[in-house]
Amino acid sequence: MHISSLEYAAGDITRKGRKKDKARVSELLQGLAFSGDSDVEGDDEPETQPAPKRPKVSSVPEKNWTKRDIKPNFPSWSALDSGLLNLKSEKLNPVELFELFFDDETFNLIVSETNNYASQKNVNLEVTVQEMRCVLGVLLLSGLVRRPRRGMYWEMSDADQNLVRDSIRRDRFELIFSYLHFADNSHLDQNDKFTKLRPLIKQMNKNFLLYAPLEEYYCFDKTMCECFDSDQFLNGKPIRIGYKVWCGTTTQGYLVWFEPYQEESTMMAGKDLDLGLGGNLVMNFADVLLERGQYPYHLCFDSFFTSVKLMSALKKKGVKATGTIRENRTEKCPLMSAEHMKKTQKGYFDFRVEENDEIILCHWHGDGIVSLCSNAVGIEPVNEICCFADDKEIPQISQPSIVKLYDERREGVAKMEQIISKYRVRIRGKKWYSVLVSYMIDVAMSNAWHLHRACNPGASLELGDFRRDVAYFYLAHNANMSD
């Protein structure tokens, strides 16, 4: 390194001199070059600076948000539920309603696959449809009459046990239940975690959709198929252990379509990655509903599923949708932040509409800060409701229509869970999918009871009595057929 002048060699002890020294040394180091005989190995050519990165240009157009109410162009709901009218005219009893779902085709599938599996294990089972109905009757009865051990259902204690004992022998029940099967093990899809249940799942979904009430509003959410009752709690809530199930229901809790949860990579195969797992599940449910006809259905779901892209995709299919939405999915919508909303009075709301897709986002200050998104319902008309704050009633606060509709229509899956939890099948097998089979039996019973109430308004049976009629019929009607 060569210094051309001694002016800077001695330096200056003042602060100004030190600054000048630092600036001069910086200049010299920037111009430093190594000669060919230098001890330091390096490239002869000076190091080139990397080219500056160009900013990425997004192919997605920017959203154009405007503060106005939404102007949806969906047709009004005018569909007539002819299927329910036919059921009312037929005046079906509880057993006939239950067999809309567990029909002859379903029983034949179970019997065929069970006998096939037993033969693969070198067991001559030869179970019949009548015996399988007896097995189902015992399972249904276990939700009404609970016993610590399933062998106690054959003890001489009361009329229920006598009915079970006269219908099917205990050893025969145990043998059939141990070989209960629903798919051919030689033709399994290795990519499907529920391939051993897939034929039964398809059959149940087909029957559920076929007799589902034709309504405008449907709910989509996740539920839990519990393996066993847990007495442990976390943060005041019971710990639930089991299988997660995605469910689409009516607002009253009738299950239309369900799918057990698998790894995201499996469920996202061939799907739209922009919509994510939740968005694709909602799109699947929308496609299932559209199989019944191109009606303007209205779906309600929570923030796990909602995004602006999903609302746009559903609108292109002619399906209305409303749901809560997370802050990171609002597509840079210039709404008032939650921190500022908390400082406003209850009933205050802020909203914007995306001009291209006609989708509205709304923040509302109610019991908390609620963020909602919809492609079909907006702010007007604004309702006046009562609210509570610090244990004091606030007489009137404003509530937009989007909030009112979501509060009224979002509880379908929760209602289904409440109904199923009353009388669940209590007999469990050793196979991993035993709890899912019990879940499908309980759901079929719940759906049959929904149809019973719809066909008999004001004169319907309670769920326990309805289930008892079906269980007693299967046990008494098939008695002495399994010697």
What pLDDT does 58 receive?
A: 45
**In this structure, what token pair is assigned to residue 25?**
């040394």
What pLDDT does 55 receive?
A: 52
Q: What is the pLDDT of residues 397-412, one digit of tens each?
A: 889 999 999 999 999 9
pLDDT > 70? residue 60: no
As a whole-number percent, the residues of the chain with pLDDT over 70 amount to 80
pLDDT > 90? residue 241: no
How sure is the predictor about 346, in pLDDT bands with cuts at 50, 70 and 90?
confident
CA distance 350 to 348: 7
Which of 164-173, 245-254, 324-333, 473-482 is the least confident region?
A: 473-482
Which of 55-59, 190-194, 276-280, 463-467 is the least confident region?
A: 55-59
Q: What is the pLDDT of residues 139-156, one digit of tens each?
A: 999 999 888 888 888 886
User: If we measure between CA atoms, which residue out of 156, 234, 148, 161 comes closest to residue 428?
Assistant: 148
How sure is the predictor about 269, in pLDDT bands with cuts at 50, 70 and 90?
low
The partner residues of 226 in beta bridges, in order of sequence, read 242
Residue 278 near residue 469 (C-beta atoms within 8 A): no
What pLDDT does 93 receive?
A: 94
What pLDDT does 274 receive?
A: 81
What pLDDT does 42 receive?
A: 40
Q: Which residues of 20-48 are buried (b: 16+ CB within 10 A; e: fewer)?
A: eeeeeeeeeeeeeeeeeeeeeeeeeeeee
**pTM beyond 0.85:** no
**In this structure, what token pair is assigned to residue 378?**
């907006």
Residue 255 near residue 446 (C-beta atoms within 8 A): yes
How sure is the predictor about 389, in pLDDT bands with cuts at 50, 70 and 90?
low
What pLDDT does 6 receive?
A: 40
Residue 387 near residue 394 (C-beta atoms within 8 A): yes
Q: What is the pLDDT of residues 353-372, one digit of tens each?
A: 999 899 999 999 988 899 99
Characterise 203 by phi-psi region: left (phi > 0), alpha (psi -120 to 50), beta (else).
alpha
Residue 240 CA from chain centroid, whole number: 16
**DSSP characters over 399-435:** E-HHHHHHHHHS-HHHHHHHHHHHS------SSTTHH
pLDDT > 60? residue 13: no
How sure is the predictor about 228, in pLDDT bands with cuts at 50, 70 and 90?
low
The partner residues of 362 in beta bridges, in order of sequence, read 351, 372
Could you say which DSSP state residue 100 is in? T
Residue 57 CA from chain centroid, whole number: 34
Q: What is the pLDDT of residues 440-483, one digit of tens each?
A: 999 999 999 999 999 998 888 999 999 999 999 999 887 654 44
CA distance 274 to 235: 34
Report the pLDDT averaged over residues 215-222: 96
User: If we measure between CA atoms, which residue out of 242, 256, 290 comes closest to residue 439?
Assistant: 242
Which of 13-17, 230-234, 255-259, 378-382 is the least confident region?
A: 13-17
Query: Counting beta carbons within 10 angstroms of the beta carbon of residue 200, is it exposed (0 to 12), middle (13 to 18) or buried (19 or more)?
Result: buried
How sure is the predictor about 28, in pLDDT bands with cuts at 50, 70 and 90?
very low
What pLDDT does 287 receive?
A: 94
CA distance 323 to 371: 9
Three-class secondary structure of residue 328 per DSSP:
helix
Which of 57-61, 104-108, 288-292, 438-442 is the least confident region?
A: 57-61
Mean pLDDT of the chain, nearest integer: 84
Which of 24-33, 81-90, 448-457 is the least confident region?
A: 24-33
Residue 471 near residue 448 (C-beta atoms within 8 A): no
What pLDDT does 41 receive?
A: 40
What pLDDT does 23 receive?
A: 58
Q: Which residues of 261-283 are buried (b: 16+ CB within 10 A; e: fewer)?
A: beeeeebbeeeeeebbbbbbbbb
**In this structure, what token pair is assigned to residue 257?**
């379509």
